[in-house]
């Protein structure tokens, strides 16, 4: 599997709005586990599963609007650009391209450039 090609990682109906699942790296070709997130409005996002503050899985966090809250110490990350919105995390998480094709969600396992 090429690491730059989109990979089908989930069925659309696997995730309710405001929920997340962990996609293991070896299932999608990324260099890290990914949190696949469905926001309140139904939009899908993909970010690094690992919080940038400590080793906590963001896919076990809480989705609110277009943010995900780390279950470790409560930092919230923007799902669009990965930037933390409140401490203690102060480093963005990587984001990944994701798109819906029919009833499947496709992830490109190459991170987006970091937005300033
Ligand atoms: S581990 Fe995520 S905020 Fe501390």
pLDDT, one tens digit per residue, over 96-111 is 999 999 999 999 999 9
The confidence band for 54, taking pLDDT boundaries of 50, 70 and 90, is very high
Q: Is position 2 within any domain?
A: no
Give the domain range for residue 76: 7-107
Q: Is position 32 within any domain?
A: yes
Q: Is position 1 within any domain?
A: no
Q: What value does the mean pLDDT take over residues 51-67?
A: 97
Q: Is position 115 within any domain?
A: no
Helix-, strand-, coil-residue percentages of the chain, each rounded to 5? 10, 35, 55
Query: CATH number, domain at 92?
Result: 2.102.10.10
Residue 116 clears pLDDT 90, i.e. is over it: no
Q: Is position 22 within any domain?
A: yes
Q: Compute the distance from residue 99 Cα to the ligand 1 centre, in Å.
A: 27
3-class DSSP assignment, residue 50: strand
Q: Is position 72 within any domain?
A: yes
CA atoms within 13 A on the CB side of 48: 21
The per-residue pLDDT for 3 is 62
Mutate to test the pocket of ligand 1, among 70, 77, 85, 86 (most ligand atoms within 8 A of CB): 70
Total tally of structural domains belonging to the chain? 1
Q: Is position 112 within any domain?
A: no
Mutate to test the pocket of ligand 1, among 49, 52, 56, 67 (most ligand atoms within 8 A of CB): 56
- Tokens for 8, please give them: 């089908």
Which residues form ligand 1's pocket by a CB distance below 6 Å?
Answer: 51, 53-54, 56, 70, 72-73, 75, 88-89
Q: Is position 103 within any domain?
A: yes
0.85 surpassed by pTM: yes
CA distances from 68 to 50, 72, 83, 84, 103 (A): 12, 12, 11, 9, 24
Q: Compute the distance from residue 19 Cα to the ligand 1 centre, in Å.
A: 18
The per-residue pLDDT for 2 is 47
pLDDT, one tens digit per residue, over 12-50 is 999 999 999 999 999 999 999 999 999 999 999 999 999
3-class DSSP assignment, residue 116: coil
């Amino acid at each position: 599997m090429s690491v730059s090609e989109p990979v089908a990682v989930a069925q659309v109906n696997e995730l309710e709005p405001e929920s997340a699942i962990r996609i293991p790296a070896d299932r999608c070709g990324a260099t890290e586990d990914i949190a696949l997130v469905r926001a309140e409005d139904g939009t899908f996002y993909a970010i690094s599963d690992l919080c940038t503050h400590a080793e906590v899985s963001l896919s076990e966090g809480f989705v609110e609007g277009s943010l995900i809250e780390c279950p470790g110490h409560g930092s919230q990350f923007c799902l669009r650009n990965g930037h933390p919105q409140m401490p203690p995390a102060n480093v963005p998480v990587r984001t990944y391209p994701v798109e819906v094709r029919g009833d499947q969600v496709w992830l490109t396992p190459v991170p987006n450039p970091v937005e300033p």
